[in-house]
Structure 1
Amino acid sequence: MKIISILPWADWLALVCFFSIWIGYAFFAKAWAKTRPSLLRTTNRYRRYWMEQAIARDPRMLDGIITQNLSTTPAFFSSTSILIVGALFALLGTTDKATELMSEIPFAQATTLIVFEFKILVLVAIFVYSFFRFSWSMRQYTFVALVIGSMPPPEDFASGQFERVAYVDRAASLVASAAETMNDGLRAYYFSFALLGWFVSPLAMVIATAVVAAILYSREFRSEVLHILKD
């Protein structure tokens, strides 16, 4: 309750705006992708193509290698998130020096020690969230490897002993879910940079959050990579 009275209303409004834009964009991107091509939706099509090829291959060593390579990215960001959280907690022990350094930056708003610590804790919460998303994505890729490893030989699909479409749908959905979960973690990283503007001023954070949302929109719905993949 103490932080509620200490933190200025401008900071509370900026924080509410920050999370509103973040959560709002996540819902917008998912809903918009149902009617418009998005990077995730387009790459999901290629993930299905991959699984259609995987059930026709024997042995499936190539698919195992691809799955392992895909899982290295969330594994890297998961371990990086732990390091960042540790560094932020270490920063909490030197907040007095950090506040002095921030006060020397032009246009930076003067803040009390407890408010500065609260801002760091919000950053910690964001990277903890990203850690859970990346680690869950990494685990989902192990499920993908499990499904690929359990696929029957191609001749069993050809004979009708196993349903081809069911296996493809299951494997493609798992890969898409792992990719979407990793995308959530990456989005948290993007918005964590916007939160750094809060150390300057509440207005700087709001502007930075809007800029990050615009960058994410351009990359997910209007990027050159999307144009290449959807053709």
Structure 2
Amino acid sequence: MDHLKFFTSLDALAVGYLLLAWFGIGYVIERPLGSRISTSVLVANYRKQWMIQMITRQPRIFDATILGTLREGTSFFASACLIAIGGGLAAISNAKKLSDVAQNLALDAPEIIWEVKILLALLFITSAFLKFIWSNRLFGYCGVVMASVPNDKNDPLALPRAQKAGDLNITAARAFNGGLRGIYFALGSLGWLLGPVGLLVSTTLTLFILLRREFASTSREILLRDEG
């Protein structure tokens, strides 16, 4: 119980702020409030159009290549998360060295305090790993449905199946984006190693980066450019 004195009300506030930001930013990005939609939602509309254009494309090697590239991305990040999880568990098992480094920086605290702070980062990394794995599987489902889409646009099954493929593609991308946000917040959570103020600052910085890239980036302006 003596360890609890190292966790103050400011620590609780900072962790609560971090978790609220994690859940909240995902909701705002995927379900924008008002007329200003996110880059992710804009790209989702192009994913729908991609599947419709695919109906009459001959051959469909181009579409298969793009989908394969998307799946490779999910596999890469899932593997990276596994490595990070292993590194985090190794750090926890050897928290004495981390505690010694902290003492040199005048950040004196018991080893269990550092273990808890590393576990918080691992929470986000683990969530990201699961999302990347699910995204990979959904892209696989999308590929199967794409293969079943008739090439004849007059076929009554063509458009409904293309729309199904589009919805699966968007769902897979949503999981992938959630995994990326998990990595962002895992890095942000490391600010807690510097104390609750460090966590508040790093969380705010993470929020700023995500909001800017989704709602005020150059890529968003390009996607909104008039095509008329």
TM-based fold match above 0.5: yes
| Distance (Å, rounded) in 2 between the aligned partners of 1:31 and 1:177 | 13
Whole-angstrom distance in 2 between the partners of 1:65 and 1:162 = 26
> Which one of 174, 177, 193 corresponds to residue 171 of structure 2?
177
* 1:128-158 Cα deviation digits (max 9, x unpaired): 111000000011110111011111232xx32
In structure 1, the partner of 2:202 is 208
Q: Identify the match of residue 139 of structure 1 among 137, 140, 143.
A: 137
Q: Hey, what's the Cα distance between the residues in 2 that align with 1:65 and 1:209?
A: 37
> Counterparts of 1:5-154 in structure 2 under 5 Å?
7-32=7-32, 35-105=35-105, 109-154=107-152
User: Which one of the candidate residues 166, 188, 197 is aligned to 2:182?
Assistant: 188
CA contact (8 A) 2:30 2:41 kept: no
Partner of 1:198: 192
Q: Count the aligned residue pairs.
A: 225
Unaligned runs of 5+ in 1: none
4+ runs of 1 displaced by more than 4 Å?
A: 1-6
Identity of aligned residues (%): 28
Q: Compute the TM-score of the two structures, normalised by the length of structure 1.
A: 0.90
Backbone CA RMSD of aligned residues: 1.9
- Equivalent pair of 2:17/2:200 in contact (CA under 8 Å): yes
Q: Which runs of no fewer than 5 residues in structure 2 stay unpaired?
A: none
Secondary structure of 1:183's counterpart equals helix
What TM-score do the two structures reach when normalised by structure 2?
Answer: 0.91
Contact kept? 1:33, 1:41, Cα under 8 Å: no
Deviation (angstroms), 1:163: 3.9
Distance in 1 (CA, whole Å) between partners of 2:144 and 2:4 is 48
Of the two structures, which has the highest relative contact order with CA contacts closer than 8 Å and spacing of 6 or more?
1
The 1:128/1:109 distance shift into structure 2, 3 A limit, reads same
Give distance in 2, aligned partners of 1:13 and 1:33.
26
Question: 2: CA distance between counterparts of 1:151 and 1:2?
Answer: 64
Higher deviation after alignment, 35-44 or 78-87: 35-44
Asked whether the 8 Å contact 2:40–2:214 carries over to 1, the reply is yes
Q: What code does the residue aligned with 1:142 have?
A: G
